[in-house]
Chains A and B, each alone.
Chain A
Amino acid sequence: GEDVEQSLFLSVREGDSSVINCTYTDSSSTYLYWYKQEPGAGLQLLTYIFSNMDMKQDQRLTVLLNKKDKHLSLRIADTQTGDSAIYFCAELRSYNTDKLIFGTGTRLQVFP
């Protein structure tokens, strides 16, 4: 189908690692992204990975890509209360024009 799937909710203790998962649909997608959205705000681009990579690390963020299974994950190390937000994965489908399709979103709640 067309949907990019994510689990709805994740709750972690401050200082632990968080892992947010995403299953996308289009094997020809060139880029895959992670966005963060805080309440009432727009989308903040956190990181992205090109489809020929299997891992990318950016400070506390690690992105893993399993292209065979069309599975993407975002690991946040040392999760802080300020990381509480909704996280969206997105896939870039490039045919005649770039089209960014978002996952269903995962609400991350960090408790002390």
Chain B
Amino acid sequence: DTEVTQTPKHLVMGMTNKKSLKCEQHMGHRAMYWYKQKAKKPPELMFVYSYEKLSINESVPSRFSPECPNSSLLNLHLHALQPEDSALYLCASSRSGGGNTEAFFGQGTRLTVV
């Protein structure tokens, strides 16, 4: 099983809403990532969790709040977003540290902020 599952696939939210994106993997990976991808651009790293601890925050605004409740789950809580936050949000996972570190991506959540 090399699957990373993201829900929902599509999300439309208003600027005053609170919503969450979810990501799940059962490969025993201990590193999980959130990326943001705007149209026709490469994915940009937002957050990295390693062994359920936040290890990288790429200066992401506080309206994005990540959470890693256990080694299989990664959430991204959204609050008071702006229209420019509309993008494809990708989750990925990999084995953390050393050895073969293939990173597998989910299909993404396409977020539209209205």
- Which A residues form the contact surface with B (CB < 8 A)? 30-31, 33, 35, 40-45, 48, 88, 90, 92, 94, 96-105
> Whose C-beta in chain B lies nearest to the C-beta of A104?
B42
Contact between A45 and B42, CB atoms less than 8 A apart: no
Contacts of A103 in B (CB 8 A): 42
A-B contact count (CB 8 A): 64
Given A98-B31, A98-B94, A100-B33, do A45 and B45 touch, yes or no (CB 8 Å)?
no
B48 within 8 A of A: yes
Contact between B90 and A42, CB atoms less than 8 A apart: yes
Given A31-B101, A43-B90, A105-B42, do A97 and B50 touch, yes or no (CB 8 Å)?
yes
Contacts of B45 in A (CB 8 A): 99-101
B21 within 8 A of A: no
Majority secondary structure, B binding face: strand
B64 within 8 A of A: no
Q: How far does the alpha carbon of A32 sit from the alpha carbon of B110 in the complex, in Å?
A: 27
For the complex with contacts A42-B107, A97-B56, A100-B33, 17 further pairs of A-B residues with Cβ separation under 8 Å are A30-B101, A33-B102, A41-B108, A42-B105, A42-B106, A42-B108, A90-B103, A96-B55, A97-B31, A97-B50, A98-B50, A98-B96, A98-B101, A98-B103, A100-B103, A105-B40, A105-B41
Mask of B35-51 contacts with A, CB within 8 angstroms, 1/0: 00000111111001010
Q: How far does the alpha carbon of A92 sit from the alpha carbon of B48 in the complex, in Å?
A: 13
